[in-house]
């Protein structure tokens, strides 16, 4: 496998190319896959982004910092960065995943990006991994201003609306998944007992569909 692209595209040259190869290997290919590296990368990513937000937004309270971090490190954001880096064409996938379009699947690309973060840490330590994360998130972080007001997501707002009125929390039920594996759409039902309400949300991920269902419920509940 040719990994000569990595120093140029990633901005980091691996001393041990085997680490990069493992980071790009999906579990469908074999036993030596990237899930353990992804575990490390996920922890590193949350840590580095938390530090960056703490430094950049000194006046923002913990709850808003947490919500903003969640927005930055979610699958959608990681997927876009992975696409920009061209990871899809270098993924090592089993034949089934290749045939089903796994190289373009957002979850696989996002996981591979986190695995690369973990691989860089194993290759050169925390500072190297931190530099990589800060670099690939540079545009997103640069867009954040010190006076950022972080809007609460619909699910959080709906939960707080119900809790403030001592009502039971909503339930989110996956009703339908449709489309090809790399172009799936999800349909989620949000159910509330009191007041009795049932709303629907759709999207390219279950999270997006749940947020849409919560937003629809808020429109029914809020004056």
Dihedral sign from CA coordinates of 117, 123, 128, 130? positive
Same domain, 160 and 214: yes
Average pLDDT over residues 74-78: 91
Same domain, 84 and 115: yes
Query: What is the pTM for the complete model shown?
Result: 0.68
Check whether 208 has a pLDDT greater than 80: yes
Same domain, 129 and 184: no
Average pLDDT over residues 104-111: 92
The whole-number pLDDT of residue 176 equals: 92
| Whole-number Å distance between alpha carbons of 80 and 66 | 21
Q: What is the CATH number of the domain that holds 102?
A: 1.10.1520.10
User: Among 6-10, 166-170, 211-215, which stretch is predicted with the lowest mean pLDDT?
Assistant: 6-10
Average pLDDT over residues 163-170: 93
Same domain, 44 and 137: yes
Check whether 146 has a pLDDT greater than 50: no
The whole-number pLDDT of residue 182 equals: 72
The whole-number pLDDT of residue 223 equals: 67
| Whole-number Å distance between alpha carbons of 147 and 135 | 23
- Residues recognised as catalytic: 42, 114
The whole-number pLDDT of residue 183 equals: 77
> Is residue 103 in some structural domain?
yes
The whole-number pLDDT of residue 108 equals: 93
Domain of residue 209: give its range: 154-221
The whole-number pLDDT of residue 212 equals: 95
Report the chain's mean pLDDT, rounded to a whole number.
89
For residue range 26-64, list pLDDT tens digits in order. Answer: 989 988 999 999 999 999 999 999 999 999 888 788 888
Check whether 147 has a pLDDT greater than 50: no
- Give the number of domains in the chain: 2
At residue 113, φ and ψ (nearest 5 deg) are -65, -45
| Whole-number Å distance between alpha carbons of 71 and 166 | 28
DSSP, res 167: P
């Amino acid at each position: 496998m040719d990994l000569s692209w990595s120093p140029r595209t990633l901005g980091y040259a691996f001393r041990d190319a085997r680490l990069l190869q493992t980071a790009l290997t999906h579990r469908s290919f074999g036993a030596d896959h990237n899930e353990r590296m992804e575990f490390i990368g996920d922890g590193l990513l949350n840590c580095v982004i938390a530090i960056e937000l703490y430094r950049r937004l000194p006046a923002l309270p913990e709850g808003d910092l947490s919500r903003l971090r969640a927005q930055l490190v979610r699958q959608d954001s990681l997927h876009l960065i992975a696409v920009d880096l061209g990871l899809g064409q270098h993924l090592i996938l089993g034949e089934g995943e290749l045939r089903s379009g796994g190289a373009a699947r957002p979850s696989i690309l996002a996981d591979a990006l986190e695995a690369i973060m973990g691989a860089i840490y194993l290759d050169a330590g925390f500072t190297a991994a931190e530099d990589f994360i800060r670099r690939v998130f540079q545009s997103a972080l640069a867009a954040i201003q010190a006076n950022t007001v972080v809007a609460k997501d619909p699910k959080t707002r709906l939960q707080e609306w119900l809790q403030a009125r001592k009502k039971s929390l909503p339930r989110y039920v996956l009703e339908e998944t449709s489309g090809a594996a790399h172009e799936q759409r999800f349909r989620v039902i949000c159910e509330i007992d009191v007041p009795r309400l049932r709303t629907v949300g759709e999207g390219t991920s279950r999270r997006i569909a749940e947020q849409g269902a919560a937003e629809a419920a808020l429109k029914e509940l809020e004056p």
